[in-house]
Structure 1
Amino acid sequence: MVSFWQKKDEPDRPGSSRARDEGHDNGHPSDHEEPTERSRLLPQNNDQGYLSPDDPAVSPYNLWSVRALRALSLIALAASFVWWTFLLVSIFVSPPLMQSRGSGFFSFSYITLTIGYLVLGLLFFVVPSKPMTVCGIILAILLLVDMSIIVGIPQIRFEEGWVGIASVVWALIISVYQILQNQVVTRGKREEEERLTGREETRRSLREWLAVLIEIVVLGVMAFATLLFTATLILRARDASLEPIGKRYSVHGDTYRIHLACVGNRTEDPNEPTILVEGDYGPVEHTLQPFIDDAYQYGAISRYCYWDRPGFGWSDNAPSPHSAGMSADVLSEALALAGESGPWIVVSAGVGSLYSRLFASRHLLEVSGIFLIDPLHEAYLADIGQPNRGFMLWLRGIVSPLGLDRLAGALFRGRTREDRVIGRSAYQTGKFIKAKLQENLVAVTMTSAEVQSARHIQMGATPLVVISSGREMRADPEWAKRQEDLSHITNKLLSWDVVHDAPHEVWTDGEGRQVLESRLKDIVRASREIKS
């Protein structure tokens, strides 16, 4: 009798006869019922009683809902990887309809973050934890802020386009999904433990604690990276409020915009030339334009125009691939849209000389003078196009959304929005890095062929001035030889001056400025004589 009451008081063990008789009430279907998410996956004749918590059969995978979530995560991972591949390719070659007017590195970063989050969730699928939920909520909040900035700031929304918006929205959806997945697996794990062991297992093995620790560390890194994304986007929103001097013009079939500005009034004299300024390595506003503006203020020239190459200053990034000749073409288009016409005297420095020479060869009748300041010879395009340089530019671009250098400059060095857009910190932006990567990718192929053709086409009677850095020529005899070669690109060399102590940026030296101003006046006079 005692044993009878003990048996009566004990819960029905899985697999017992009463459990089988009352299978429907105990969550077990009869032999004629369709299986549900609570269907036992263990043999029906299991009369062993409750299982050990360490038994592999005690798993949330027993539930159909949990297995379905895992399958959904795998599908999301596969879709994210395909999207990641497209974005990686678009950095080098822009697929149709995926043109980003910005760098494209932000989109790539968000999808990389999404893939990492999905992989982490799959690796530790059956080890859910509260810290993982908390980190996931933080990550989702930050991504929501990022999405709001990208969608809410017109300039950023224009640059990132639908690709950037879709990428951050997808990252946000996956972050919310991972939180829900964590909760569902936690509940399923608890239910299966109660069903198969008689109670919820609150203990964790050393392996589980290690898994939780790895989850927390990786999610903490992801949350910190997303926080940096947010801070960088805030800086970009701040920079977007800086209005350009001049105007942006939609070019190349309205796929992106080019910034162009002209200073000075048009004269009634059709023979009066306009100086067309091309910058060196960085934005023209930070390199050559201040000197040209001083020359304008002093009366050495009457009017000048300057522009930002694609990816520089206020200009958008161009589709990839993009060569120097393509830049010359969109400059022509922007000038036409602005109603500007020659005659032009193209003034450039360093690598910008390649761009101005291409423009001159494509506007033979409009260009009445070529003014080169320590110009880069086309022989050095091989250095620009080195594969290791391209890889480093790509790597810099990938980490650029973190904005470590820009944030440090803004917080500790007093860098302003002018510094980041057109100044000394412009080289840190993703747009600039993308432009330099594009320059690298086509330097020894497309750009080299274009410059060689330009040299054959260039009109021989065009006045030419070359001013070289004495320091550079003494440091590198090959550079000196190439400077001399550039003094023969036309048959009408007005002068080739070597400023003894001037650096590569000749206009930063006192003697260099005097020589530049004097030669500017000479080439303006020569231009007038040609046109008169």
Structure 2
Amino acid sequence: MKRFFNSGTSRQSQSGRSEPDESASRESVNPAAASEADETTRLLPNRIDSSYGGGYLSPDDPAVTPYNLFFVRAAHLFTIFLLFLTSIWWILLLVALFVTPPGFETRGSPFTAFSYASVAVTLLAVGLLFFAAPSKSVRIITGVVALFLFINTIITASVERTRHEEGWVGITSVAWAFAVSIWTIVTDRLVQWGKREEEERLTGRPESRRTLLEWMEVSVSSIALLILCAVSALLFCTLILRSLDSGLAPPGKRYWVDGNKYEIHVYCHGSKSKEPLPTVLFEGGDDPVENGLWQFAQNAVQNGSINRYCFADRPGLGWSDTAPSPFSAGQATEALSEALARAGEKGPWVLVGAGSGSIYSRVFSSRHGTEIEGLLLIDPLHEDLLGRVGAPTRGFWLWLRGILSPLGIDSVPGALFNGRTREDRVWGRAAYQTSKTIFAKLQESLVAKSLTRRDAITSRAIQYQDTPLTVISSGKMIHRDKAWQSKQEDLTKLTHALLHWDVVEDAPHEIWRTLEGRELIEKRLKKMVHLSLKRPINAVKAAAIISGGDTL
């Protein structure tokens, strides 16, 4: 139906001549008598006399816009408000990657929640940039994104382990991203309706063609949303893998620590002998104990070298949850002590620390001196070399890998084409690809040169000097790195009771990977465990035993 405008137009007299419209003249003379301004009178004061047919505007006229409608303008403002709120959430999650704000703890990886927040921010930003260029293709692609996000929300909330790890922060992030995707679809459809209504009202018919600028806007927005669609699909695949991995039961039990903020996995095996033999407590290096040292410990029990052993996964490794940031070696030791106490394991202990894990064993030894019967360090990391762990370039690459890790760029192809199993991803050769492990490594790197180094230096100052000590070093590491050699020698002076310093010539950093290394470690460990039967109880330990407590 055609619509004509009387304001400011002329009318035809009976004689066919054009005569001024008296009402228009009166309105021009007396503006107060004019009708209330609307988008037509406000935006188009002098355009009705154009030569475009029947008093309609040209479709290319900038006044033909969906922004004329109140609902479209309100949707635009509300989208800006949503982008503002989502950006605040995104910034908080970005900060949580380095320092956990109070209440923002996740027991899994904060990288996952950050990924969903990034999806939500991108959806809103793209929607605002191309707000006035609605497209059916955009709505279809966004619908696919919304479908993936909806499924991810259901899986995250319904699978017990993912719900436990993500907590309210992760569930809120994925649910919010889904809600934003639905709003994006609704907004695009609203703008499409408003655009058609205004074109019919102002030009006489809906416009089916697009300008070159509109085609460019639709193309760019479609490409951006296609990338988001791929991201959502990868997030879905990674979440499926995590759900499958959650079915892998831990060999031990998880215990709440630090005010029930997160859980630590503890596993102990072997019999408690009638003789007061100590329990061997293993601390892994870059990898969890399960990846190599666990098999060694099992063989040592079977061979009769030791009677019983325990190990606990550090936060973020193996079956343990991640801890809030920052997280130092001292905090890890406190969590380990609490988990062992909840598990009913009281020692005495012979500590075996490998690589970077030797830092944690040393801190534990210094804080539980009366319970420690020996300290065996396997190619240990010296506190003066923690700068390598905390190097800025290493921290940056860990952060970048963490940002990409929820996409499963490594883990998904590994599972589909390389035969990676659940064991590989939880504690094995592919564990370094998971978001949780990468976050734990980032935490370690962030405080290596500050908090952890301070803990290591302090532990050396308060270390019991009569604790038997054995150091076993890698020949390959010593020959390749002179600084490593000198620091290995320095670590033999941790106590006054050095039993052995051995160098396994052809062994790598993980000395137990070689037959010679395994045999030597087991031999030294057996001697240290049984040596405790011959050691006299010193006055400090006797006082602690009589009082039933520890001297820390």
* Bigger Cα displacement from structure 2, 47-56 vs 392-401: 47-56
Correspondence 1:185 to 2:186:
no
Partner amino acid, structure 2, of 1:503? P
Correspondence 1:292 to 2:297:
yes
Correspondence 1:377 to 2:393:
no
Q: Which stretches in structure 1 are left out of the alignment for 5+ residues? A: 1-8, 22-29
Structure-2 residue corresponding to 1:396:
401
| TM-score of the aligned structures, taking structure 2 as reference length | 0.90
**C-alpha offsets along residues 330-363 of structure 1, whole Å, 9 cap, x if unaligned?**
1000010011111100001100000000000000
What secondary structure, in the 3-state scheme, does the structure 1 residue paired with 2:290 have? helix
1:236 paired residue among 242, 245, 257: 242
Aligned equivalents of 2:75, 2:483: Cα separation in 1: 65
**C-alpha offsets along residues 251-300 of structure 1, whole Å, 9 cap, x if unaligned?**
0000000000000122333x210000000101110032211111111111
Aligned equivalents of 1:10, 1:426: Cα separation in 2: 69
Aligned equivalents of 1:65, 1:405: Cα separation in 2: 45
What secondary structure, in the 3-state scheme, does the structure 1 residue paired with 2:307 have? coil
2:4, 2:56 within 8 Å by CA — same for their partners in 1?
no
**C-alpha offsets along residues 62-96 of structure 1, whole Å, 9 cap, x if unaligned?**
11111110000100010011111111111111111
Correspondence 1:206 to 2:212:
yes
Shift of 1:432: 0.6
Aligned equivalents of 1:458, 1:320: Cα separation in 2: 27
Aligned equivalents of 1:328, 1:529: Cα separation in 2: 28
Q: 1:119 to 1:58 in 2, by over 3 A?
A: same
Shift of 1:531: 5.5
Shift of 1:509: 1.1
Structure-1 residue corresponding to 2:43:
42
Aligned equivalents of 1:20, 1:430: Cα separation in 2: 76
* Bigger Cα displacement from structure 2, 57-66 vs 508-517: 508-517
2:59, 2:203 within 8 Å by CA — same for their partners in 1?
yes
Shift of 1:44: 6.0
Summarize the alignment of residues 55-74 of structure 1 with structure 2, pairs less than 5 Å apart: 55-74=61-80
Summarize the alignment of residues 5-404 of structure 1 with structure 2, pairs less than 5 Å apart: 12-13=4-5, 15=7, 41-43=42-44, 47-48=48-49, 49-269=55-275, 271-404=276-409
Q: 1:136 to 1:35 in 2, by over 3 A?
A: farther
1:14, 1:50 within 8 Å by CA — same for their partners in 2?
no
Shift of 1:32: 8.5
1:80, 1:115 within 8 Å by CA — same for their partners in 2?
yes
1:361, 1:458 within 8 Å by CA — same for their partners in 2?
yes
Identity of aligned residues (%): 50
2:47, 2:57 within 8 Å by CA — same for their partners in 1?
no
What secondary structure, in the 3-state scheme, does the structure 1 residue paired with 2:466 have? coil
Q: 1:525 to 1:95 in 2, by over 3 A?
A: same
Structure-2 residue corresponding to 1:469:
474
Q: 1:359 to 1:227 in 2, by over 3 A?
A: same
Q: 1:448 to 1:31 in 2, by over 3 A?
A: farther
1:288, 1:349 within 8 Å by CA — same for their partners in 2?
no
Aligned equivalents of 2:163, 2:298: Cα separation in 1: 33
What secondary structure, in the 3-state scheme, does the structure 2 residue paired with 1:131 have? helix
2:292, 2:513 within 8 Å by CA — same for their partners in 1?
no
Structure-2 residue corresponding to 1:522:
527
Shift of 1:40: 5.3
**C-alpha offsets along residues 422-462 of structure 1, whole Å, 9 cap, x if unaligned?**
11100111111111111111111111111001001111110
Structure-2 residue corresponding to 1:492:
497
Aligned equivalents of 2:44, 2:520: Cα separation in 1: 95
Structure-1 residue corresponding to 2:446:
441
Shift of 1:46: 5.4
Aligned equivalents of 1:322, 1:290: Cα separation in 2: 29
1:283, 1:426 within 8 Å by CA — same for their partners in 2?
no
1:458 paired residue among 433, 441, 463: 463
Shift of 1:124: 0.6
Q: 1:14 to 1:168 in 2, by over 3 A?
A: farther
What secondary structure, in the 3-state scheme, does the structure 2 residue paired with 1:299 have? coil
Aligned equivalents of 1:13, 1:34: Cα separation in 2: 15
What secondary structure, in the 3-state scheme, does the structure 1 residue paired with 2:506 have? coil
What secondary structure, in the 3-state scheme, does the structure 1 residue paired with 2:410 have? helix
Aligned length: 514
Structure-2 residue corresponding to 1:504:
509
What secondary structure, in the 3-state scheme, does the structure 2 residue paired with 1:284 have? coil
Structure-1 residue corresponding to 2:547:
none
Shift of 1:489: 0.3
**C-alpha offsets along residues 117-166 of structure 1, whole Å, 9 cap, x if unaligned?**
11111111111010001011111111000000100111101111101111
Q: 1:212 to 1:10 in 2, by over 3 A?
A: closer
1:385, 1:443 within 8 Å by CA — same for their partners in 2?
yes
Aligned equivalents of 1:103, 1:524: Cα separation in 2: 38
Q: 1:258 to 1:31 in 2, by over 3 A?
A: farther
| TM-score of the aligned structures, taking structure 1 as reference length | 0.93
2:2, 2:204 within 8 Å by CA — same for their partners in 1?
no
What secondary structure, in the 3-state scheme, does the structure 1 residue paired with 2:369 have? coil
Q: 1:46 to 1:266 in 2, by over 3 A?
A: same
Aligned equivalents of 1:20, 1:244: Cα separation in 2: 90
Shift of 1:13: 4.5
Aligned equivalents of 1:20, 1:503: Cα separation in 2: 100
Aligned equivalents of 1:463, 1:20: Cα separation in 2: 111
Aligned equivalents of 1:235, 1:20: Cα separation in 2: 77
Aligned equivalents of 2:318, 2:533: Cα separation in 1: 32
Aligned equivalents of 2:284, 2:325: Cα separation in 1: 21
Shift of 1:31: 7.2
State the Cα RMSD in Å. 1.9
What secondary structure, in the 3-state scheme, does the structure 2 residue paired with 1:365 have? helix
Q: 1:515 to 1:62 in 2, by over 3 A?
A: same
Aligned equivalents of 2:404, 2:332: Cα separation in 1: 26
Aligned equivalents of 2:36, 2:263: Cα separation in 1: 62
* Bigger Cα displacement from structure 2, 47-56 vs 174-183: 47-56
Q: 1:525 to 1:177 in 2, by over 3 A?
A: same
Partner amino acid, structure 2, of 1:355? Y
Q: Which stretches in structure 2 are left out of the alignment for 5+ residues? A: 12-20, 24-31, 50-54, 538-552
2:48, 2:57 within 8 Å by CA — same for their partners in 1?
no
